[in-house]
A and B are shown apart, each in its own frame.
Chain A
Amino acid sequence: MVEPSLIKAAQSGDREALVTLLREIENHVYRTAYYILNNEQDALDASQEALIRIYTKIETYEEKAQFKTWVQRIVTNICIDKFRKTKPTISIDEHEIVFQDKSCVEHDVMAGFAIDEIKQAIDQLPEHHRTVVILRYLQDFSYNEIAVSLDLPLNTVKSYLFRARQQLQHLLQDYQKGGVRG
């Protein structure tokens, strides 16, 4: 939670406050970028771009919105643009190959599914479904906060989230079956 006084100072031209503010949100920005793009380098690039945009556009932030949703809107927009540019459409077959290769290496199992399995499954979701899941689970956003961040109707957010969980459930179930077969 960024202090409103820090935001005000940053908006009034206090450069030090603005840099401090960027440091406070840096991890949040990176985390979203990392899970949307599923790649450290791309996430660093997108995060840099997002922080620079925040730096240059801080005056445009209006207090009526939550600062964290404003920040996440910026980073998700950048990531989605980046994703569309850099990620060609991949066939399901190719996906499965990558999926299985990676899973053999990943043994960091949580209470449930392996981290890498989940990351790979999230990576297969349509971009908006994925973004909703990330804001819900990696930013702990409420339905409403997700709706504001992504500029989507509340019901659409719920619909995306519920459908995404079902898809993830199927993907992970398929993977487990594949793992047993393998």
Chain B
Amino acid sequence: MNCTEVGELMQRNLDYDLSELELATLMTHLSDCAQCTVLFEKLTLLSGSLEQLPRVTPSISIVDAILPELERIDKEKSNSLILAKQRRTRWFTSVGSIATAAAIVVLMINLNGIPATNNSSATDLAMKTNVQNNTETEPAADFFVASDQEADKADGISESDRSRTTDGIGQFSSSVAPNNNGQSSKAGSELEESQVVDSTAISPTLPSLKKDILAEKLTGSTSMTFVPELSGSLTEKVDKLGVLNELATTIQDQSVEPEKSSVEQYLSRDEQVYLQFEEHTIAVYETSSKQMIREWELPQQGLFEFIEWDIEGNNFTFQVTDEAGEITSYTWKLIEQQ
């Protein structure tokens, strides 16, 4: 065996890879070859040193350090799952104008693959009446509810679901009543609370079909045009589809100019920018160019309510009501947020 071949045996010996026979062969060669013996000793010393390299450990717990990131990943994952099954977004803002008239439009979503359209028409009628009455009030709130949803592929809602929905309407109407007279922000809060309950009860029964119809109508129209559309074409359309029954409420400030009064946009006090809640994000746009300046991921799942811009227009506040009904308030900086 020549020195080159022995070189490989030497190397494999360092890795404890030699058979007894190979080891004997190596040793025999080394006893006769001074040059290989020197190399063998050097490599053995090197390998011994490598084996003693310190088993370093991190100075901090890396897992602890990434736990928040892991939670964020989990939340994102569960959000996307929840969003796939069920999504609700809701905004609320105070307008604070005394001399303005407003309209309350109640739109309740309640899918019914089968008849029942008589009931829904009655509901619509009642709601339209409410709209008329409420235009005379002076609510201090601009209100928007969007429920889009689905996941539940049931053909229609069950009797119990339907009755629950009906209860929801009754409950809702009663909370609207005080608002007509009081129109204080407290009344608005009550309204809001009952609405949360309604949405929660109803949404899971909504099929994806009407999500598109509703989203189209709600996002596509300004507040001014929203009312006629709602009482006319939307109801008709839904009725035609025979799947109807949507109930939502919006109290609108009719003094706001149509192009600025989209229920989705919240102008800063200097009107330089406006805020918009979108599917998964909160976005800020420059008013003049309508260009998005920046956007953030929604911080959590829930019902979003815009509260206010601060005086400087640097911060905005909104709150989120989660599934458990817990309300979390967020104040974010327009610049250097997160």
Interface positions of A (Cβ within 8 A of B): 15, 19, 22-23, 26-27, 29-31, 34-35, 40, 43-44, 47-48, 51-52, 55-56, 110-113, 115, 118-119, 133, 136-138, 142-143, 158, 161-162, 165, 168-169, 172-173
A113 lies within 8 A of B46 (CB) = yes
- Enumerate chain A residues within 8 angstroms of B69, measured Cβ to Cβ: 48, 52
* B115 close to chain A: CB less than 8 A: no
Residue in B46, B51, B59, B62 with the greatest tally of chain A CB atoms within 10 Å: B62
Bits for B3-17, please: 1 = Cβ < 8 Å to A, else 0: 000011001101101
B54 at the interface (CB under 8 A from A): yes
Contact with A along B31-55 (1 / 0, CB 8 A): 0000000000011011111111111
Knowing A19-B70, A137-B50, A172-B46 touch, does A26 contact B15 (C-beta < 8 A)? Answer: no
**Smallest beta-carbon distance A118→chain B, Å:** 6
**Minimal beta-carbon separation of B4 from chain A (angstroms):** 12
Nearest B residue to A109 via CB reads: B49
Number of A-B contacts (CB under 8 A): 98
User: In the complex, are the beta carbons of B14 and A165 less than 8 A apart?
Assistant: yes
Please determine whether A52 and B73 come into contact, CB atoms closer than 8 angstroms.
Answer: yes
Q: Are A112 and B45 in contact (CB under 8 A)?
A: yes
Report Cα–Cα, A30/B14, bound state, in Å: 25
Residues on A with beta carbons closer than 8 Å to the beta carbon of B56: 30-31, 34-35
Chain B residues with CB under 8 A of A40:
59
Complex: chain A residue closest to B77, CB-CB: A56
> Is residue B291 contacting chain A, with contact meaning CB distance below 8 A?
no
Majority-rule SS of A interface residues: helix
Residues of A within 8 A of B15 (CB): 136, 142-143, 161
Nearest CB in chain A to that of B60: its residue: A44
Distance in Å: Cβ of B295 to nearest Cβ of chain A = 23
In angstroms, Cα B60 to Cα A44, docked, is: 9
Among candidates A22, A35, A113, residue contacting B49 with C-beta atoms closer than 8 Å: A113
Q: Whose C-beta in chain A lies nearest to the C-beta of B67? A: A19
CB neighbours of B74 from chain A (8 A): 15
Q: Is the CB of B73 within 8 A of A26?
A: no
The 9 closest A-B pairs by CB, nearest first: A112-B49, A137-B50, A162-B11, A30-B58, A113-B49, A112-B45, A22-B63, A110-B52, A23-B63
User: Which residues of A have CB within 8 Å of B11?
Assistant: 158, 161-162, 165
Contact A51–B62 (Cβ < 8 Å): yes
Q: Are B57 and A169 in contact (CB under 8 A)?
A: no
Q: Given the complex of chains A and B, what is the CA–CA distance between A5 and B53 in angstroms? A: 32
B70 touches A55 (CB 8 A): yes
Please indicate the chain B residues that have their CB under 8 angstroms from the CB of A161 in the complex. Answer: 11, 15
Partner of A111, one of B43, B49, B55: B49
Per the bound structure, the CA–CA distance linking A48 and B57 in Å amounts to 14
Question: Which residue in chain A gives the minimum CB-CB distance to B16?
Answer: A142
- Note all chain A residues with C-beta closer than 8 A to B61: 23, 26
- Collect the chain B residues with CB atoms within 8 Å of residue A34's CB: 56
**Is A52 a contact partner of B66 (Cβ separation < 8 A)?**
yes
Interface contact B48-A112, CB-CB below 8 Å: yes
Question: In this complex, what residue of A is CB-closest to B50?
Answer: A137
State whether A115 touches B54 (Cβ < 8 A): yes
Is B65's beta carbon under 8 Å from chain A?
A: yes
CB-defined A-B contacts under 8 Å, sample of 26: A19-B63, A23-B63, A26-B61, A27-B55, A27-B57, A27-B58, A30-B57, A30-B58, A40-B59, A48-B69, A51-B62, A51-B63, A52-B66, A52-B69, A52-B70, A111-B49, A111-B52, A112-B45, A113-B49, A118-B50, A136-B50, A158-B11, A161-B11, A161-B15, A162-B8, A169-B46
Report yes or no: A26 in contact with B50, Cβ–Cβ below 8 A: no
In the bound complex, do residue A138 and residue B45 qualify as a contact, i.e. CB atoms below 8 Å apart?
Answer: no
A79 to chain B, nearest CB (A): 14
Known A55-B73, A111-B52; further 13 A-B contacts with Cβ < 8 A:
A30-B57, A31-B57, A34-B56, A40-B59, A44-B65, A51-B66, A55-B66, A55-B70, A110-B52, A112-B45, A112-B52, A137-B51, A162-B11
Known: A52-B70, A55-B73, A143-B17. A26 touches B49 (CB 8 A): no
